[in-house]
Amino acid sequence: MAEESRKREWPKSRNTGMIDVSELIGLSLGHFRDFALSSFRDGLVDRYPNPACGLDCSAPFAAREAGVQRPIMANDLTQQLLDLNQKLLVSIIGGDWKTYESLCDASITCFEPEARGQLAIGMPFHKYFFDLPGSPQKPAKNVTMSQPHVRLMGDSAAVLCYVRLTQSLDGAGEVHIGRVEETRVWQKIGGEWKHVHFHRSGNT
């Protein structure tokens, strides 16, 4: 290495014969750039071409491979909320209090026809209806959210609006379809999504 260093000819100025410092700096920066790009490609980045920058530098960092969780995208969050709301509706028509209770915040508020124009607060008002006697229906009731609209308010709150359609059979085997308009509010509390408020129209 020492012998190779002695043989190296440093860049010199044509006018003075002295070492050209500016050119020497340029060479050093060039070597550093080559080293940095090599390290960047081989150690930090998944390689695939990026026409915009001309380098293999557009894939996510290897930190992703180490378990760093990517941010939840808006579409993913919207679908997550729709799935939770559908689970809530299924628990209502199926009389599943345990599931309903797990999805709702204890201080839930609502305006619904059963409250006779009053703001109902808390879970006891709703539990009364779950405790009413009923007979299992075959086939079971089916509930659908028609034309759901989700408005995200940051990453910790959302408003869902839709028309709720419920299909059922009466004692004579005749099919009935109930229709109500609903607005439901979800909030992320303690890292979990909870149902905190709803407004429901009368059955039509």
Specify whether the CB–CB gap between 184 and 197 falls below 8 A. Answer: yes
> Which tens digits make up the pLDDT trace of 67-99?
555 556 789 999 999 999 999 999 999 999 999
**Which tokens belong to 56?**
């293999």
Query: 56: helix, coil or strand?
Result: coil
> Which tens digits make up the pLDDT trace of 24-55?
566 666 655 665 555 444 444 343 344 444 44
pTM of the complete model beyond 0.85: no
The H or E element spanning position 159 is strand 157-169
Query: 52: helix, coil or strand?
Result: coil
Average pLDDT over residues 162-187: 94
Task: Give me the half-sphere count of Cα atoms (radius 13 Å) on the Cβ side of residue 162.
Answer: 21
